[in-house]
Amino acid sequence: MFSTCRVRHGVHFYKVWFAKEPFKKSGIIAYYQASFKDSRVQVNNYDTIVNDLTPAPEEIKAQFSKSCKYKVNRAAREDVQLTIKDSKDITDKDIDEFLKFFKEFWESKDVEFNNSTSVRQDLVEYRAGNNLTLAYAVVCGEKAIYHTHVYDDTTARLLHSASLYRLQGDAEGTNKNLIGMANRYMHYEEMLHFKQMGKSVYDWGGAGRGEDVINITEFKESFGGELKQDYNFEVTNGIVARIFRIVARLCKKS
C-alpha cells in the first residue's frame, strides 16, 4: 500500500493504492484497487489482470501466447531501445516530455486532452513517494511508446500507456507492426525490471469488456495473466472532513 495527500480548505484528501485494510487517518480517502469493501459507502468493482513475477524470466515468458512470445522475441532483435527510470532518476523534464507525448497520443485519436495539470501533479506526487516508474521506447530513432507505472512493496501497476504509430518520415505507416512488437517487448522488460526490484505482481491496470476497450483487454490477456477483482471507493473520516462534505453539498444545491 502507498498513499498521497493534498490539503484543501484544511481538509486532507488522500489517494490510497492497494490497501489491504482501512486507512486510519482523518480526511477524504479515495481507495484505488483495495482488496476489501467498506459497507458504509458505494463500492465499485475493479476488474484487472495480474501476472506472477516470482518465476524465472523464461517461465514468465512461457505463459505468453505463441504470437506474443514471437513478437517479444522479434522486437528484441530489431531497432528498439528501451529506457526505464525509477523515481529517483525521473526529472521534471522527463515528466513534461511524457505529457507532451501523451497529449499527442490522444489528439491522434481525435480526443482532446485537458488534464495535463492534474496528471502532472499526480506523477510528481508519486515520484516524491518513490512510487513511480517512467519508461519509453525509441523505435527507428524516434520515441514511439511511453509507459508509466505506480508500485508499492509487492505490486507494480500500469498507469499510462501511449503509442504513436505514425513516425516522422514514415508516411506509409510501415513501422506500425514494429511499434506493436516493441510495446510487447517493453512490457516484458518492465516485468523483469519490477521482478529485479523485488515486486511479485504485475498489474495491467484494468480489464474492461466494452467495445471500446476489448481489444486492449485481449492484448493484456495475451501475456497469460489471471483475472483479479479489486475495489474502488471513497470514505470520509473525521469531523472536519464530514463538515466539509456537508457544506459542499449545501453549496452545490444552492
Claim to verify: residue 37 and residue 108 sit in the same structural domain? no
For residues 81 and 127, membership in a common domain is answered with yes
CA distances from 119 to 50, 91, 116, 124 (A): 24, 15, 5, 9
Dump the DSSP string for 159-180. EEEEE--S-TT-TT-TTHHHHH
Same domain membership, residue 167 and residue 208: yes
- Is 154 found in the same domain as 29? no
Pairing of strands 11-17, 27-34: parallel
34 and 136, same domain (yes or no): no
pLDDT of the residue at 184: 98
Model pLDDT, residue 252: 80
Q: Considering only CA atoms, which of 36, 37, 33 is closest in space to residue 47? A: 33
The residue type found at 161 is S
How many domains does one find in the chain? 2
pTM score over 0.75: yes
pLDDT given for residue 166 in this prediction = 64
Coil vs helix vs strand at 229: strand
Q: Are residues 86 and 31 in the same domain?
A: no
Closest CA to 101 of 52, 48, 162, 55: 162
Give the model's pLDDT for residue 131.
98
Same domain, 129 and 246: no
State residue 6 phi and psi, 5-degree precision.
-125, 145
For the chain, 254 residues long, give each residue's pLDDT as a single digit of tens.
Answer: 999 999 999 999 999 999 999 999 999 999 999 999 999 999 999 999 999 999 999 999 999 999 999 999 999 999 899 999 999 999 999 999 999 999 999 999 999 999 999 999 999 999 999 999 999 999 988 999 999 999 999 999 999 999 998 665 565 556 788 999 999 999 999 999 999 999 999 999 999 989 889 999 999 999 999 999 999 999 999 999 999 999 988 888 76
Q: What is the DSSP string of 179-212?
A: HHHHHHHHHHHHHHHHHHTT--EEE-S----STT
Task: For residue 99, give the amino acid letter.
Answer: L
Longest dimension (CA), the chain: 63
189 and 239 assigned to the same domain? no
Written as one letter, the residue type at 37 is K
Give the CATH number for residue 167. Answer: 3.40.630.30
Confirm if 53 and 151 have CB atoms less than 8 A apart: no
Q: Same domain, yes or no, for 75 and 200? A: yes
Residue with cell 471500446: 212
Grid coordinates given for 250: 449545501
36 & 67 share domain: no
**What pLDDT does 140 receive?**
87
User: What three-state secondary structure class fits 2?
Assistant: strand
Grid coordinates representing 169?
Answer: 518520415
Structural domain boundaries enclosing 42: 2-47+231-253
On whether both 241 and 174 belong to a single domain, the answer is no
Do both 72 and 176 map to the same domain?
yes
